[in-house]
Chain A
Amino acid sequence: MVDIVVLVKDTVELSELKVDPATRRPILLGLNRRIGDLDKRAVEAAVQLRDKHGGKVILVSLGDDKTRTAIREAFAMGADEAYLLRDSSFEGSDTLVTSRILAAALRRIGRYDLILCGEMTLDSLSAQVGPRVSELLGLPLVAYARRIEVKGDRIVAERSYDMEDETVEVSMPVLISVVREINEPRTPALMSIMRASKKPIQDWNREALGLQIEEVGSHGSGIKVLDVKAPLMERKRIIFKAETPEKAASSLVDRLFKDGVLK
């Protein structure tokens, strides 16, 4: 039996991002949020382990009311229950604060064998929350895992660093962050999607987590975002759409020579 907590975050759909041409800032207002790609893979890994060994998959997410959509997506994949950490004072939290809030929730949950999360989220790309949470809870950490096996009360995992791959072993409880290569997340069947709406989501606010105002949100944060801009990417966008591949290739080659790209 393995009780697994999965840390998930909902993020904007990257493919829907557009830039305000006047300010060059990304337009975030009105965008839909979905469960992050790596978080989905962490949920998939958890569900597979639970199906094999028994136990529970518990989701923990720091968010707002709209985050329920992402939670239901994870329920449809097979997660059992969720805690939504929601408080207006959490607005503007950086990774220092986010990990503090998540750790507080995990302490309140109390018992678990495994914590899974994505290597990073694709919006902020910081890859910090997993390792920070393990440190705050005094848990061992396996980062960048692409394979996880349960062997009794131990985990055997494979993970990749830049220059080497390693097979590691560690006793549970342990926090593991997963990379894209760990699995392909399932597409839930209609029945699973319907059942998802019945699974419980418990809301925990700042008080329920025993946190002070100064510890959370922008008050508690260690860094501050001053500005966000899309870098200039002025490209010529000359497209050749000729009747035959030969004609198109010919036009392209002519142009590349003409513009001095090829000599």
Chain B
Amino acid sequence: MVYSEDMKLLHEILAAGRGLADNLGTSLSALLMGYGVTSEVINEPGRFGADKTYVVDDPGLERFNSETHGSALLQTVKTVSPEVLLIGATKKGKELTARVVAGLGVGCMTDCTSLSLDGESRLIGKRLTYGGFSVAEVACLKRPQVATVPPGSYDELELSGIPSQVVRLNVVLSEPRVKVVEQRSKAEAGFGLKEAPIVIGCGRAFRRKEDLALLDELAGVLGAHVSCTRPLAADYHWFEEWIGLSGSKIRPRLYVSLGVSGTIQHVAGIRDAQNIVAINTDESAAIFNVADYGIVGDIFKVVPALTKQLRERLSK
């Protein structure tokens, strides 16, 4: 059984689930939880691989709350008894999953970027550990076998064919104890950054927001999307999103890091870039270990020089 509160991620995980279900010779179901779930939404999972779609429609599920959604998911899992449970690894999904597996008394493999089955129908997952330094291969020992899957790990597969069977389930919910007093939407993270072929990342060598103007020229010449390491977004609020383990993981053709030291967490976000250029005054900065090309120098002198050279070369 597969669940995510994010529809696109649900489709991606259905693709992962489809392969596993076929391998195990069982059916693949999707779970939809909410209030006033429309028939349009109910028909979606079937198009993306689900044999069955379970619908839990209850006023208590109108707004996400890990207590109510967790309780609903736990009740559903106890009714349906899936062999494998896959949940989308958004922040909400991870919070929800941890509560549900505690209720089920089973383990959970989190943030699995790939899933497979061994000879004994054990679910095997690959995931980052040590702050992004290494990849662990993990197996589930109890049933149901549970894993969370981050966005972008699987491509959604739109299949035509038999629409999935819809099954409505009821749950018993109580008032959640945590009350939401105010909610503020955030701009969709990752838009533009994840698709950009050339990305410039700035780090803490930039002390003042005005210094970022330096980057705009370079970005213009290269046609690059500008982003940053976590502190510049999360602490200084100069950007909405950042590149790293807890932010966006990018795979551009070219990544240019400016004044970035190269922490493990940031590197986890850039390791799939085809080419990495690093500019930093510190010769011993970790970023130089993971770069293809580097300049040891002052970004405030090198970047203008680089911009000028590139402008000349690229205009030919």
> Residue B234 contacts which of A15, A180, A239 (CB distance < 8 angstroms)?
A180
B157 interface residue (CB < 8 Å to A): no
The answer on a CB contact under 8 Å between B130 and A14 is yes
B95 x A94 contact (CB < 8 A)? no
Residues of A within 8 A of B179 (CB): 168-170
Contacts of B308 on A, CB cut-off 8 Å?
249
- Point out the residues of chain B lying under 8 angstroms from A224, CB to CB: 138-139, 141
Q: How long is the Cα–Cα vector from A17 to B301 in the complex, in angstroms?
A: 33
A141 touches B66 (CB 8 A): yes
Closest A residue by C-beta to B106? A222
Asked if B290 is at the interface of the complex by the 8 Å CB criterion, the answer is yes
CB of A241 within 8 Å of the partner chain:
yes
Determine if A235 and B92 form an interchain contact, defined as CB atoms under 8 angstroms apart.
no
Which residue of A has the minimal Cβ distance to B179? A169
Residues of A contacting B297 with CB < 8 Å? Answer: 241, 245, 248
Chain B residues positioned under 8 Å from A198 (CB to CB): none
Is B171 interfacial (CB-CB < 8 Å)? no
Q: Which of A2-10, A43-51, A125-133 contacts B (4 or more CB under 8 A)?
A: A125-133
B186 lies within 8 A of A239 (CB): no
Q: Which residues of B contact A168 (CB under 8 A)?
A: 178-181
Question: Does chain A have a CB within 8 A of B271?
Answer: yes
Closest beta carbon of chain A to B143's beta carbon, Å = 10
Interface residues of A in 9-48 (CB under 8 A from B): 12, 14-15, 17, 19, 25-26
Which chain A residues border B105 with CB–CB below 8 Å? Answer: 96, 222
Q: Is A230 an interface residue (CB 8 A)?
A: yes
Interface residues on B, range: 35 or more
Nearest neighbor of A140 in chain B, beta-carbon distance: B177
**How far is it, in angstroms, between the C-alpha of A126 and the C-alpha of B128 when the chains are bound?**
9
Q: Interface majority SS on B: helix, strand, loop or mixed?
A: mixed
Q: Which of A99, A126, A255 contacts B102 (CB 8 A)?
A: A99
CB nearest to B111 among chain A residues: A125
Q: Counting CB contacts under 8 A, is A135 at the interface?
A: yes
Q: Is the CB of B106 within 8 A of A96?
A: yes
B93-143 at interface with A (beta carbon < 8 Å): 94-95, 97-99, 101-103, 105-111, 124, 127-142
Considering the complex, give the chain B residue whose CB is closest to the CB of A136.
B102
Which residues of the partner chain B approach A235 to less than 8 Å between Cβ atoms?
276, 289-292
Is A227 among interface residues, defined by CB-CB distance under 8 A?
Answer: yes
Q: Which residues of A have CB within 8 Å of B22? A: none
A106 to chain B, nearest CB (A): 14
**Shortest CB distance B26–A (Å):** 21
Q: Are A164 and B108 in contact (CB under 8 A)?
A: no
**Contact pick for B136, options A141, A181, A225, CB 8 Å:** A225
Which 5 A/B pairs are nearest by Cβ-Cβ distance?
A: A222-B107, A131-B98, A223-B107, A135-B102, A249-B305
Name 22 interchain pairs, CB-CB below 8 A, sorted by A.
A125-B110, A127-B95, A128-B101, A140-B176, A141-B66, A143-B91, A144-B91, A160-B91, A162-B186, A162-B189, A165-B186, A168-B180, A229-B134, A235-B276, A237-B292, A239-B293, A240-B295, A245-B298, A248-B296, A249-B308, A249-B309, A262-B313
Extra contacts besides A235-B276, A253-B309 (10): CB < 8 Å: A12-B130, A17-B264, A26-B134, A131-B95, A140-B177, A142-B178, A228-B136, A229-B134, A238-B294, A245-B301
